Amino acid sequence: MKFASEFRDPALAKALLARIGGVADQIGATREKPVHIMEICGGHTHSIFRYGLDKLIHPGVEFIHGPGCPVCVLPMSRVDECVEIAMRPGVIFTTFGDAMRVPGHKMSLMQAKAAGADIRMVYSPLDALELARRNPDREVVFFGLGFETTTPSTALSIQAAAREGLTNFTVFCNHITVPEPIKALLDDPDMMLDGFIGPGHVSMVIGTHPYDFIARDYGKPIVVAGFEPTDLLQSVLMVLTQIAEGRAAVENQYARVVPQNGNPVSLAAIADVYERRPSFEWRGLGEIDASGLRIRPKYRAFDAEEKFGIGYAVGRKVVEEPEGCACGAVMTGRIKPTACPQFGKGCTPDMPLGALMVSSEGACAAYWQYGGSRGLAAE
């Protein structure tokens, strides 16, 4: 298949749905006793809702939405630290647009911009680098945010800044990794997960081997998936087939994009620029060992935490989530967004309480955008 329309072919989707139904019946999955499949990536959550797969699929298959939206898992304290840096005199703070409206304890970056901070949206860290070249008398800070998908481009910008000897470019590093929170979820005795849909874009960088522990140590199937409806349906079928056959393996449905061993150029840039933090705070999951990356000492001059004396460089403040906010429970798949008491009441895309309502990969945004009043009434 070559074209997007082929991956959205209704006849193919119907055939896959029928096969999923057959295997679900075979293993005895019902609405009352469903198979719980976690899609780790927020991009998958949005595809599932955009194409209505949650409504079309056998009632014995329940999608559990995972913590794979990097903006959503950022704790409020990190947003506060962004605002603090952006408010410093002489700073141009650059960020992807997704992070602009994420609420901090006092304000979002959007509100800080309205209050006078020089905050600019960029499409790439290389745009921030170009701003630093053009503004040698200003401090340009890039908000490095995201999983392994965006980690390499930030690394390449730091390497370029080092080569050019730039002294006014730094990165506020919030890059995180996927396997560690999955391990944390699997270690949680309250989580009842039967299998995983693995992230497509992250795996394009890291390959499929970092997930081996999921099958080997926990006996759960995981299938790395693409983002089109038939990709997702085929991946669900592959997970169910493993369960029906009593096996657990790492399989790659997205082989047209994901190489088994990842992307060597990206992996080399990551290894050169970053090292693991001992732990990193995740919204809703708390501190998770070795789940965050920081800039290696040899690139310290490009580390905003070091330059501005902020965050993990000086010890961090824990900031409580707003009252009644259930972001943590939604992000760990314990409840659906519509079960949050704030959904559609105290929290809407116009007046968000949590990042899940404003991020393009947030589960609450998916329910709001594609569920509408039906979503509200569903639970």
Residues at the contact surface with ligand SF4, assessed by CB under 6 A? 325-327, 330, 337, 340, 342-343, 347, 353-354, 356-357, 364
Q: In the chain, helix, strand, coil percent, each to 5?
A: 45, 20, 35
Sign (positive or negative) of CA dihedral 48, 228, 150, 370: negative
Q: How far is the CB of 378 from ligand SF4 (least distance, A)?
A: 14
Q: How far is the CB of 353 from ligand SF4 (least distance, A)?
A: 4
Provide Rg for the chain, Cα atoms: 21
Give the 3-state secondary structure of 102-138. Answer: CCCCCCCHHHHHHCCCCEEECCCHHHHHHHHHHCCCC
Q: How far is the CB of 58 from ligand SF4 (least distance, A)?
A: 27
Q: How far is the CB of 294 from ligand SF4 (least distance, A)?
A: 27
CB closer to ligand SF4, 290 vs 335: 335
CB closer to ligand SF4, 259 vs 346: 346
Burial of residue 126, with CB atoms counted within 10 A of its CB: 0-12 exposed, 13-18 middle, 19 or more buried: middle
Residue 170 near residue 304 (C-beta atoms within 8 A): yes
CB closer to ligand SF4, 99 vs 224: 99
CB closer to ligand SF4, 131 vs 331: 331
**CA 109/CA 74 separation, integer angstroms:** 14
Q: What is the DSSP letter of 208?
A: S
Straight-line distance from the first to the last Cα atom of the chain, in angstroms, rounded to the nearest whole number: 38
Sequence-distant (≥ 6) Cβ neighbours of residue 72 within 8 angstroms: 42, 283, 327, 331, 354, 355, 356, 359, 361, 362, 363
CB closer to ligand SF4, 72 vs 222: 72
Query: How are beta strands 286-289 and 279-282 bridged, if at all?
Result: antiparallel
CB closer to ligand SF4, 135 vs 338: 338
CB closer to ligand SF4, 179 vs 328: 328
The overall longest dimension of the chain from CA atoms, in Å, is 67
Q: How far is the CB of 371 from ligand SF4 (least distance, A)?
A: 12
CB closer to ligand SF4, 190 vs 323: 323
CA distances to 109, 259, 261, 268 from 265, rounded to whole Å, are: 33, 13, 11, 5
Q: How far is the CB of 174 from ligand SF4 (least distance, A)?
A: 19
Q: How far is the CB of 75 from ligand SF4 (least distance, A)?
A: 13
Residue 194 near residue 35 (C-beta atoms within 8 A): yes
Q: How far is the CB of 54 from ligand SF4 (least distance, A)?
A: 17
